Amino acid sequence: MLGLGIACVLAVTAATAAPQNAQIPSVRAEGELGARIELVQQRFLEGTEPAFTDDFILADVALRPDYPRRFAEFSGDISGRYLGALALMPPEGSDLTLAGLAHRILSYQREDGRFGAADLSFSEKDIDRPHMALLWGNGRLLVGLMEYYSVSQDKAVLDGARRLGDFLLQVRQNCSSEEVVKRLEGQAAFGFICFTQLIEGLAALYEATQDTRYLAGAEEMAEWFQATRGKQHSHGYLSTLRGMMMLYELTGKAEELKRVETHYDRLIKSPDYLVIGGVAELFGGGNERDEGCSEADFLRLSLQLWKATGKVTYLERAERCLLNHFYANQFKSGDFGHHKITPWGFAPLEGVGRAWWCCSMHGLRAFRDVVDAIVVQERDEIQVNLFQDVTWNTPDMTFRMRCEKTGVRLEVKASSAQRKTLAIRNPSWANAADITLNGAPESVSSAQDGYMRVNRAWKAGDTLQVVFDYKVVLELRDRTRIALSDLPTEPVAGTLFYGPRILGVDSVCDPDFHGEPHVGNVVHLPKQLEADHDVSHASLLTVPGAHFTVSYIHEGFPEPCHVTLLPFSEQTQHRQGIFTVTHYYQARP
């Protein structure tokens, strides 16, 4: 599978609309991005233990006693996520059809519009953990139905979604009482976020129907959102913020955007935001696992904020998560899930943490937003925002973008005679950028928005090459940063960034480094890193030019040793091992 490197050809859908006056492009994801998308798509089409059969997918709405499946009480969770993710990210060349599955899901809808247990009373005195589980699953199913509807325009699906939306509006008052909120404090995945995450589906339902009842209900839920994170399920919290961003996108109310930006900024400044670019499964400390859903949510929320505000800092937060925590969270099977978080990096869980019940689908869904953000055209300007291997096509222009060791190459395959501006992001993780056009140096215009612009009448065969001077910095535990040239001679604990990528040590590749005792190992860094030329295990998931063999002193004996620093993301290629990203570093003696 990794050898193919082409996942799908995608066009912007109603669920991820293009900017006003923009041409709708098709995008072919290739290289590392394409390989990762294909991994998770093939997981659903061909994977086993468990296989995604119809019985397996539908278990959370069918509730068959003869087919027990984990988390079926979260009714609609798997079925909704699967339907939505595959609708928006269909595998290229597959005969997968979703209409039959969507209609089978609807066949299990209860008379009052809900899915799942019909005997759960939503009176205020009864509402507790089982009710939150049902609401959580119904909320994820509503989102999935609306995502499927955005590409199918299936009226029966919209009708079912409306009946579900009406049920959620009916129970919202009882679910939001002070007594219920207090009862659900500290319940993590069964807590109040199971209720507030409904904002996302109701906002999508309003967008499709223009029925203001759904908008009013979603806005009311946003007012009930608990501003303090506490010890709370990060996936539900971030899903709520994404739903609140959708309210801003639909209404343009500045207070909605300000509220989300405030919550986001507080998160970034708190210990809940991890150096690897994402968050743990639970906020508030005491949790030793990450969750693929939460990394997907943080990535998607950052992209939403960037699109709404134009602030490149949000885009770079998304990129940091994508290339590090999100990619590292993906397993060789294609699944996303859980890893044990230590003060030094990742360690294997007692059991393999492939979360087929939620994270695998949510990870695929996040790729949709990534693909849509890579290149964006508005009028006669084409913005290159993320550096990923893609072929990008509109009626006016087609080009291929390829990532290289420290840069990117754009090859124009076809173009109209019109003048267009290519705006290339100038990232904060680079000191400078050299740009050549057809092999000759090219002058660019730079603006305060952080983009370098080249304006010309592009023609087939034009090649624009951008070479970045990567910053190599050590981020300390207090979040201060030290340039490699300023690294002290005394050991300091920190995480090493090579451009946008985090480097660390993989126990599968270097088993001796993590031999006991290893926490006190001291890695020696030269003034300038020189990349290894021979990477014997190269694949599409191997980052070119980002492997560095350096010396270190192992805690416990003085003889110098050698270890390879490599990108955190590369652990996807093999079974779980120890991957440390924080070490003691010092300037090479």
Write the pLDDT tens digit of every residue in 526-560. 999 999 976 655 789 999 999 999 999 999 999 99
Mean pLDDT, range 429-436, rounded to an integer? 95
Over residues 169-185, the pLDDT tens digits come to 999 988 888 888 788 78
pLDDT of residue 120: 96
pLDDT of residue 95: 79
Over residues 304-361, the pLDDT tens digits come to 999 999 999 999 999 999 999 999 999 999 999 999 999 999 998 887 789 999 999 9
Residue 489 near residue 588, CB atoms below 8 Å = no
State both tokens at 550. Answer: 């350096």
Percentage of the chain modeled with pLDDT above 70:
95
Residue 449 has pLDDT above 90, yes or no: no
Q: How confident is the model at residue 225 (pLDDT cuts 50, 70, 90)?
A: confident
| Sheet of 397-404, strands arranged across | 9-11, 26-29, 390-393, 397-404, 407-415, 463-470, 430-437, 440-441
Beta-strand pair 522-525/582-587: parallel
State the chain's mean pLDDT as an integer: 92
Helix or strand run (H / E) with residue 137: helix 129-152
- Whether the full predicted model's pTM is greater than 0.85, yes or no, is yes
Q: Judge residue 163's burial from the number of C-beta atoms within 10 Å of its C-beta, 0-12 exposed, 13-18 middle, 19 or more buried.
A: middle
Distances (CA, A) of 426 to 106, 259, 430, 571: 48, 29, 8, 28
pLDDT of residue 229: 81
Query: What are the backbone dihedrals phi and psi of residue 521, each rounded to the nearest 5 degrees, phi first?
Result: -55, 140
Of 406 and 445, which is predicted with more confidence?
A: 406
Over residues 78-109, the pLDDT tens digits come to 999 999 999 999 998 887 889 999 999 999 99
Amino acid letter at 328? A
Over residues 119-164, the pLDDT tens digits come to 999 998 999 999 999 999 999 999 999 999 999 999 999 999 999 9
Residue 333 near residue 50, CB atoms below 8 Å = no
